Structure 1
Amino acid sequence: MNFNRTMSAANVAACICLVSLAARADAQTAGSITTSVGWLHIAPQGDATPLTVQSVGGVAVNQQVAGTGAHASSTDTLGITTEYYVTDNLGVAILLGMPLKVNLIGDGTLQKYGTLGTTRPMPPAIELRYHLFAAASKFRPYLGIGVNYTWFTQVRATNSQFISDSFGPGGSARATLSASWNPVFEIGANYALTKHWSVGTSVNYMPVKTHLTLYGQTATGTPVVSTSTLRLNPLSVFLNVTYTF
């Protein structure tokens, strides 16, 4: 469902292709700086490996909990992109977004718990873009490739029933997610309305993987450490309005 919703929004890019390319825009040339603001929809495409109990009371266990799984929820936020045109066709862009909240939802034997926890990922990216057609064209598709660094704040295990079932009544839990460097792949297009204003859309994909560590503790103080690998792999759609300086 997340994939269908994302691709439906991405179809806006195809509709832009029907607009006439004849009119001149005379914007977004070498030395131009653009700022784009709009709706950013992020739809994770991956899932998590089963939980593995690494240790109990400091003693190694390395026991996989069969049937457990999870995935990250889709989310929406305000996207912001700034691009500097090195030449008429080549630009360097910084991709940002307002802080967003993502839920970790149980799958398999954990599905009954619904949301297991929450986090606020921070995924800024920088990329090199190649814009097709001449700078005077109103319609300009582009391809982008770059790098992203994702880290996670406010990682919390929030489901009290899951915590109680996992570590016993009176137990507690906290979690961490590892940071990572990831490639970014993007395809998009802009359509100039005036010399300074344009509208655009883009779709980007980042193969993001993070390692989840769950630190549990029973009511008697026995520590239980479990791990999982969470593949986020977000597919993002950005619908925006752009101003060219």
Structure 2
Amino acid sequence: MSRTFKLGVLAAAVMVAAPAVQAYEAGDFIGRVGAATVVPDASSDPITNLSADARVDVDNDTQLGLTMTYMLTDQLGLGVLAATPFSHDIKGAGDLAGLGKLAETKHLPPTVTLQYFPMPSGSKFQPYVGAGVNYTVFFDEKTSGALAGTDIKLDDSFGLAAEVGMDYMLTENIGVNAALWYIDIDTEATIAAANQTIDVSIDPLVYMVGVSYKF
């Protein structure tokens, strides 16, 4: 037999003997951990008790992000987003822009989505999209600067969420992940110093890059 023929037979034998790689299939759990950054697209009603255009804005923050997907089928998964508490500075905007930081708050944004994975289960590259709901809990509000010594309270928020992401499996169990969420977060802020409650829209994009592990 020719050398080429022998190599061909050997390659075919290896392919037959090697088990098919199943990247994702029904019943799998995929855990992911990485850096998650919340970038608010914040706006607020005017604090008219202070001035006609006294408003507030919200800064970015990065924390440890944790996500989990349970594969209901080879192409549908139930996803959960969690994180260590995010901490955001609340700054003056509009007529209050020169006052800098006015307060800070922490929040947890647990989010549940139904995810769709369009690629075959054997593909190492697994993009996905998802849609679901978010419940954001605000806590540990503190005032500073021009509002120091008074109180501010943010109500919890319930809204819709959408996501897009991708996993790439480096081995049978270990991969890399990148994901992006849009979350509808609207809250009411009660500011004691102004004796007023205003609507605040936060509506952040959440970016996450990390590693994944399939169980």
Which category describes the TM-score, using the shorter chain as reference length?
A: 0.7 to 0.9
Q: Which has the larger radius of gyration?
A: 2
For 1:49 and 1:106, how far apart are their aligned partners in 2? Answer: 12
Determine whether 1:52 maps to 2:31.
Answer: no
Task: Report the count of equivalent residues.
Answer: 196
> 2:119 aligns to what?
133
> 2:147 aligns to what?
163
Alignment equivalent of 1:109, drawn from 90, 95, 98: 95
Higher relative contact order (CA 8 A, sep 6+): 1
> 2:75 aligns to what?
89
For 2:213 and 2:76, how far apart are their aligned partners in 1? Answer: 18
Q: SS of 1:101's equivalent?
A: strand
> 2:31 aligns to what?
35
* 1:52–1:228 Cα contact (<8 Å) kept: no
For 1:31 and 1:46, how far apart are their aligned partners in 2? Answer: 39
TM-score, normalized by length of structure 1?
0.77
Q: SS of 2:151's equivalent?
A: strand
For 1:52 and 1:86, how far apart are their aligned partners in 2? Answer: 50
Q: Structure 1 regions of 5+ residues with no counterpart?
A: 1-23, 54-63, 165-171, 217-223
RMSD between superposed Cα atoms in Å: 1.4
**After the TM superposition, which of the residue ranges 44-53 and 182-191 deviates more from structure 2?**
44-53
1:111 Cα deviation (Å)? Answer: 1.1
Letter in 1 for 2:214: T
Alignment equivalent of 1:193, drawn from 152, 170, 173: 170
Identity percentage over the alignment? 30
1:193 Cα deviation (Å)? Answer: 0.6
> 2:198 aligns to what?
228
Determine whether 1:214 maps to 2:210.
Answer: no
Letter in 2 for 1:232: I
TM-score, normalized by length of structure 2?
0.87
> 1:100 aligns to what?
86
The runs of at least 4 aligned residues of structure 1 exceeding 3 Å deviation read none
1:60-99 superposed matches below 5 A:
65-99=51-85
For 2:147 and 2:155, how far apart are their aligned partners in 1? Answer: 21
Q: SS of 2:43's equivalent?
A: coil
